[in-house]
């Protein structure tokens, strides 16, 4: 049997040696790296069973490493074990898969968590299923009441179609619930509304942090109340496909639901009702109610014009054609519905201007933290997603212009299907770095590159940029006119022109 590989990236060698000693019964193969770049490179190459890191990674921060590996097809399912003095809120952290090990480390707890994680990743069962069944025969509220009355510990795993959720239970009380990207009450109430699907209860030691404070009985009553209210008022609620816009900008009165204030923050980056619902941390009915309250008070209104004019970048037929071509040419077997487009830029402001226009398109999802970040650095990670009507997703990744990252980028670019190169300068050293990174990515790949240039003097500027970029007559260059609402449509139709042919 192959020894499980554990990738360690710890700043304290003494702590690492102690961990290796504790894990000796598992007969692990230790892989040791010194920084975030090493984690990415070795994780993609070695595909370890677990990655162990502290929060003080050099070169590339731990949270950014998690984001990068989560969006790489080979490494997306590798669990992360973070060693820290306290549990932190990390974007991309998946309860039930990823784990916080809090100092001082407890040897028995460490061994137990690693054992469960390695067994789960190798496909072995981590616990005997005690209760299994179908939701149309026994509803989720009844199951949770039964587990509460019997003070059970374990994981209640619920599936419906391709959707999978987990409810973590300790002494009969619900500690947390996770469903895809949502958690806590939002995830629990969504699962409570399922009338069909399957469930299984696995007794086990529950090691997740408690994020739901209300009692199980209170949660069930409130969840069912919100589901009933939603079903009764569904015809009067905003359509999920509608777009919203802010009408008033003066100070809001006190006394609104907290979801209303969160919505107004999200409205800076998202317009579609369905996107606002999914982005909110509050349960769905509370968000719908908050939207309705803001509309009734005149702070927000339906943007009928954007609904009528925004028909997406590609037609259904074109999306089908693109998806078919991509699934046979570039997408991986593990994630056949996901590909990548890399954004290389000499300026963070160019990327932000580009994303501000993407927000206006119905088929884009833009990460709000990208636009709200105050960091002057370019950063590395997913910034937006283009969703085709076929279900295929084109993930947009912003890549810093640092030529030393070339080997990592090559490893991470297995599903790359295009490059957007943005520049607002003809300064030779900066452009040289940009071109070296571009050439590193397209090496041995037939990948289209679209050059976007922000020139003050457009007539003279594009000619100058073309010379500075050493472009051939066949290379595509576009004026990066951020005032043009059709820019995004033109960019992606040109980038995917070969797929549409």
DSSP state of 174: E
Task: Please give the Cα distance from 80 to 62 (Å, whole number).
Answer: 10
CATH of domain 316-500: 3.40.50.300
Map tokens 């690492």 to a residue: 16
Cβ-proximal residues to 477 (8 Å cutoff; 6+ apart), any chain: 451, 452, 453, 462, 465, 466, 469, 471
Give the pLDDT score at 135.
Answer: 92
Gyration radius of the chain over CA positions: 25
Give the pLDDT score at 189.
Answer: 96
Give the pLDDT score at 326.
Answer: 80
How many C-beta neighbours within 10 Å does residue 463 have? 13
Residue 476: strand pairing partners: 450
Domain-wise residue ranges, the chain = 5-121, 131-231, 237-309, 316-500
Cβ pair 285, 230 in contact under 8 A: yes
Cβ-proximal residues to 332 (8 Å cutoff; 6+ apart), any chain: 73, 74, 338, 414, 415
The pTM assigned to this predicted structure is 0.59
Give the pLDDT score at 376.
Answer: 46
Task: Please give the Cα distance from 336 to 393 (Å, whole number).
Answer: 10
CATH of domain 5-121: 3.40.50.2300
Give the pLDDT score at 148.
Answer: 93
Give the pLDDT score at 307.
Answer: 45
Domains 5-121 and 316-500 share a fold: yes
Which portions of the chain are predicted below pLDDT 50? 123-126, 307-309, 331-335, 374, 376
């Amino acid at each position: 049997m192959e020894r499980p590989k554990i990738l360690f990236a710890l700043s304290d060698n003494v702590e690492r040696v102690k961990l290796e000693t504790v894990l000796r019964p598992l007969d692990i193969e230790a892989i040791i790296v010194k920084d975030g770049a090493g984690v990415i490179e070795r994780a993609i190459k070695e595909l370890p069973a677990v990655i162990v890191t502290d929060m003080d990674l050099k070169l590339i921060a731990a949270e950014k490493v998690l984001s990068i590996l989560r969006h790489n097809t080979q490494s997306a399912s590798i669990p992360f074990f973070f060693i820290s003095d306290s549990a932190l809120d990390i974007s991309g952290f998946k309860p039930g898969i990823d784990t916080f090990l809090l100092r001082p480390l407890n040897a028995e707890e460490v061994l137990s968590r690693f054992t469960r994680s390695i067994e789960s990743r190798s496909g072995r069962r981590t616990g005997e299923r005690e209760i299994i069944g179908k939701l149309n025969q026994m509803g989720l509220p009844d199951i949770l009441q039964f587990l509460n009355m019997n003070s059970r510990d374990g994981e209640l795993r619920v599936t419906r179609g391709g959707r999978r959720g987990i409810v973590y239970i300790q002494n009969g009380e619900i500690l947390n619930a996770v469903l895809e990207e949502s958690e806590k009450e939002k995830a629990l109430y969504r699962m409570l509304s399922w009338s069909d699907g399957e469930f299984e209860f696995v007794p086990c030691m529950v090691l997740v942090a408690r994020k739901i404070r209300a009692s199980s009985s209170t949660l069930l009553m409130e969840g069912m109340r919100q589901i009933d209210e939603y079903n009764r008022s569904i015809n009067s609620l905003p359509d999920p496909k509608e777009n919203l816009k802010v009408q008033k900008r003066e100070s809001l009165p006190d006394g609104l639901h907290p979801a209303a204030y969160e919505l107004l923050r999200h409205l800076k980056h998202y317009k579609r009702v369905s996107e606002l619902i999914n982005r909110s941390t509050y349960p769905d009915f509370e968000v719908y109610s908050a939207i309705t309250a803001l509309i009734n008070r005149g702070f927000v209104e339906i943007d009928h014009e954007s609904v009528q004019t925004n028909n997406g970048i590609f037609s259904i037929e074109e999306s089908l054609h693109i998806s078919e071509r991509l699934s046979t040419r570039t997408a991986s077997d593990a994630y056949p519905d996901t590909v990548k487009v890399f954004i290389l830029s000499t300026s963070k402001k160019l990327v932000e201007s580009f994303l501000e226009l993407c927000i206006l398109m119905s088929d884009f999802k833009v990460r709000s933290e990208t636009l709200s970040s105050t960091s002057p650095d370019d950063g590395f990670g997913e910034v937006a997603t283009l969703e085709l009507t076929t279900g295929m997703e084109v993930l947009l990744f912003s890549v810093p212009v640092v030529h030393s990252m070339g080997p990592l980028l090559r490893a991470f670019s297995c599903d790359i299907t295009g490059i957007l190169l943005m520049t607002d300068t003809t300064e030779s050293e900066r452009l040289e770095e940009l071109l070296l990174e571009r050439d590193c990515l397209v090496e041995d790949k037939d990948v289209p590159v679209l050059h976007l240039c922000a020139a003050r003097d457009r007539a003279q500027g594009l000619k100058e940029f073309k010379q500075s970029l050493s472009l051939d007559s066949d290379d595509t260059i576009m004026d990066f006119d951020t005032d043009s609402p059709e820019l995004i449509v033109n960019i992606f139709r040109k980038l995917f022109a070969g797929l549409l042919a």
